[in-house]
Amino acid sequence: MVVSLLLALPATLGLWLVSGGRGLPLRVARPLAAGMAVATLGLAVAVALTGSEVDRAWLPELGVHWSLGVDGISVPLVLLTALMGVVVTAHAWVEVPSGGTPATFLGCLLLVEAGALATFTARDAVLFLVAFEVVLVPMWVLVGRYGDPHHPRARTEAAQRFVLYTAVGSTTMLVGILLLVASAGTADLRALAGGAGAALGSGTQLAVAALLVAGLAVKVPVLPFHTWLPPAHTTAPTAGSVLLAAVLLKMGTYGLVRLPVATVPDGFGRLAPVLAVAGALGIVWGGLVCLVERDLKRLIAYSSVAHMGFVVLALASGSQTGLQAALFANVAHGVVSALLFVLVGGLKQRWGDVDLAVRRPALRETSPRLGFALVIGLAASLGLPGLAGFWGELLAVYSAWAPAADRPRALLVTCAVVAAVGAALAAAYALRVAGLVWAGDRPDPEVRRTPDTVGVERWLLAGLATLVVVLGVAPMLVLSVTADAVASVGGAR
């Protein structure tokens, strides 16, 4: 029951804020939304602890159930999403973008959160798909209406591209899910993962896996389906970018684990080499683009492509180590990119743009707190041990080096080598940014100083940075939660 409440509360308030309550003034709407986000976080913790679940017939004619629940794989993501809900609603004290009423903005944030929570808790393939799609609409509003006010045309284009591109992906996935459900005779994800999917013929498995992987690859995003991400990130408001990077991309990787990996392992196994190559190429591709990209927000978007490459590579390895690596890297990227986007959003608010070609006073000199948070984020991005990024990436390289027995070993070892090279590229682009933004000459007293972070923004940055350190020092917090569920997925092979 608690799990239904977990979805219903943010969804109800969100719907009301975008419809009846859209005229609500900021000073009322903001505490309301933030309070709801905090309550949702509390519910998420309760769900994670109690393992609450619900299972009702929803569309009995189609055999679709209103079936929600969590396991080790979804708990970290549910908590991450609820936490990001708090982060983005609290960020409204820092910045409320223009483009519509503040209440609508906050409502959209809550709707995205509710949709993502539904995606991560759904135990029915059709329900999963519905939740997956629901997120698109409020996100489209966030990018298209509340995006960068300086470039209305780019905003519309980015929003349209985001919606159309991901909708094409979801349609492909829809076909895949329908094929899977129709041929296996059940939409229950647990039954599908428990053998109903693996029992399908090898041709069907391959077809299902191909459709699902192609559809989800857009959301992750996997090279070469990533070109919607940079424009969406660049134009989205800070809160939108945070949700996009920390929640929406995770839905893609989560979908990959839940659907093709768990339900049609043999079909996925045959596609795995392609996915591994795409992942490894994505790591290097993203890293290289970051070396010359001028817009800092775009740069971080491309670095997301690289980090997601590690996740995909680990998934493709087919081993339990790979699955653990993927799930950890997924959560780690969520936290790190949230930190970086809050930070860069703040810089954009201060500077008007984040063009790296424009020389500005060094952050280390003018605003040491912002500078410190930036250095933590960049160091985590380059995979420094002791910070969140390290474990997932090291284990991803390991899992590619030692893949499951049915994977082409030589190819995956090559991918591991490429991934390791990509890790060095990550160092190069992270330090490039540090050199341009963080370190610099003693500032000219005539030039206006970049104001340092205060108030809510400071606490958000401090909290996210602490989380990055905690996950880096104690990775077992996540790994031990996911371990059992991963073993059962691995056992389905």
**Is 285 a binder of other proteins (CB under 8 A)?**
yes
Task: Rule CB under 8 A: choose which of 36, 364, 415, 457 binds other proteins.
Answer: 364
Helix ranges, 147-264 (H): 152-184, 189-191, 202-219, 229-235, 238-243, 249-256, 262-263
Decide whether 178 or 421 has the Cβ nearer to other proteins.
Answer: 421
Closest to other proteins by CB, 145 or 226: 226
Smallest gap, in angstroms, from Cβ of residue 445 to other proteins?
14
Confirm or reject binding of residue 275 to other proteins (CB under 8 A): no
What part of residues 320-339 is at the interface with other proteins (CB under 8 A)?
320-325
CB closer to other proteins out of 105 and 285: 285
Nearer of residues 91 and 298 to other proteins, judged by Cβ: 298
479 contributes a contact to other proteins by CB under 8 A: yes
299 and 356 Cβ atoms separated by less than 8 Å:
yes
Give the total of residues touching other proteins (CB under 8 A): 60
Among 483, 488, 492, 493, binds other proteins (CB under 8 A): 483
3-state helix, strand, coil in the chain (%, to 5): 75, 5, 20
* Binding status of residue 421 toward other proteins by CB under 8 A: yes
Q: Give whole-number Cα distances, 17 to 44, 88, 107, in Å.
A: 22, 16, 5
Residue of 431, 456, 470, 492 interacting with other proteins (CB under 8 A): 431
Nearer to other proteins (CB atom), residue 292 or residue 454: 292
Q: Select the span of 40-48, 247-255, 357-365, 456-464 touching other proteins (CB under 8 A).
A: 357-365
Specify the residue for token string 């920390």. 246
CA–CA distance, 344 with 95 (Å, rounded to integer): 13
Q: Does 456 bind other proteins (CB under 8 A)?
A: no
Smallest distance, Å, CB 287 to other proteins?
8
- Dihedral sign computed on CA atoms, order 231, 237, 243, 245: positive
User: What is the footprint of other proteins within residues 60-79 (CB under 8 A)?
Assistant: none
- The phi-psi region of residue 99 (left if phi > 0; otherwise alpha if psi is between -120 and 50; otherwise beta) is left
Q: Is 100 in the site for other proteins (CB under 8 A)?
A: no
Positive/negative CA dihedral, 275, 276, 282, 283: positive
Query: Least CB distance from residue 240 to other proteins, whole Å?
Result: 21
Residue type, 401: W
As given in the structure block, the two tokens for residue 239 are 């809160």
Is 384 a binder of other proteins (CB under 8 A)?
A: yes
> Does 480 sit near other proteins (CB under 8 A)?
yes
Lay out the site mask for other proteins across 217-246 (x = CB under 8 A, - = otherwise): ------xx--xx------------------
Cβ atoms of 193 and 492 within 8 Å: the answer is yes
CA-derived radius of gyration, the chain: 21
Among 319, 366, 450, 453, the residue binding other proteins under the rule CB under 8 A is: 319
CB of 317 to other proteins, least distance (A): 10
> Binding segment for other proteins among 82-90, 182-190, 343-351, 426-434 (CB under 8 A)?
426-434
Residue of 38, 365, 456, 463 that binds other proteins (CB under 8 A): 365
Binding of other proteins by 165 (CB under 8 A):
yes
- Contact between 442 and other proteins (CB under 8 A)? yes
CB of 70 to other proteins, least distance (A): 19
State which H helix or E strand residue 54 sits in: strand 54-59
3-state secondary structure of 408: coil
Burial 60-97 (b: 16+ CB within 10 A, else e): eeeebbebbbbbbbbbbbbbbbbbbbbbbbbbbbbbbb
Q: How far is the CB of 479 from other proteins (least distance, A)?
A: 5
Identity at 313, one-letter amino acid code: L
How many Cα atoms are found within 13 Å in the side-chain-facing hemisphere of 364?
12
Q: Which residues contact 309 (CB under 8 A, 6 or more apart)?
A: 222, 223, 278, 279, 280, 281, 282, 283, 285, 286, 419, 422
Give the DSSP per-residue string, 308-332. Answer: HHHHHHHHHH-SHHHHHHHHHHHHH
Binding site for other proteins (CB under 8 A): 161, 164-165, 223-224, 227-228, 285, 288-289, 291-293, 319-325, 362, 364-365, 379, 383-386, 390-391, 394-395, 397-398, 401-402, 416-417, 420-421, 423-425, 427-428, 431, 435, 439-442, 474-476, 479-480, 483, 486-487, 490
